[in-house]
Amino acid sequence: MFSFNRWLIWIPLLVVTIYWSFQNSDEEDDSVEEIDYVNQMERSLLREVPKIDVEQIAPRLNEMALTKNSSKRPGNKDLFSAHDWNPPAQTKAPPPSAPAPAPAKISAPPIPYLYIGKLETENGVSVFLNRLGETLIAKKNDVLESKYRIEEITVEKIEFRYLPLDEVQTLVIGEK
């Protein structure tokens, strides 16, 4: 009924258990020696502690007990007393503040178009502009996205007018 495989498992477990039991019995002897050593050290330290005469320190202890709850001691505060957390009332009027600075002049945003190239034909000059990956072809006086109008196209620049603020902006495209 017993299988050989079970014996292969049980025999090594038995051997390991016996081995550990002998190992642990040796360690217990070491720990007993350590406990004895610690007890000897405690006894020697207790012998070195001086004896205190209570009659000599009794007046000082009474004095400390009387001043324990005294408010004369520094740092003694009643932690649970009522406290007002509101800021103290100001008796002086605050100094007059400097006049507010003038609001900054609103300017047009940077030109959102990149110059790609231009084409000169009989009908005039056309420029190729790029905005967010979209290519636009524009001529003089064309309105782009109802915000910019092309005022002038020259060899070195394109002038745009930002319509909401009626401000002229220049995009440099070449040199003289």
Closest to 131 in 3D by CA, of 149, 144, 150, 146:
144
Residue 116 · residue 130 · CB < 8 Å: yes
The reported pTM is 0.42
Cα separation, 23 vs 75, in Å, equals 60
pLDDT mean values, one per 10 residues, the chain (176 residues): 78 88 64 71 68 74 66 63 79 74 84 91 90 92 93 92 92 81
Closest to 160 in 3D by CA, of 134, 140, 137, 135:
140
pLDDT of residue 103: 81
pLDDT of residue 102: 79
Both tokens of residue 152?
A: 């002038």
Both tokens of residue 61?
A: 């202890």
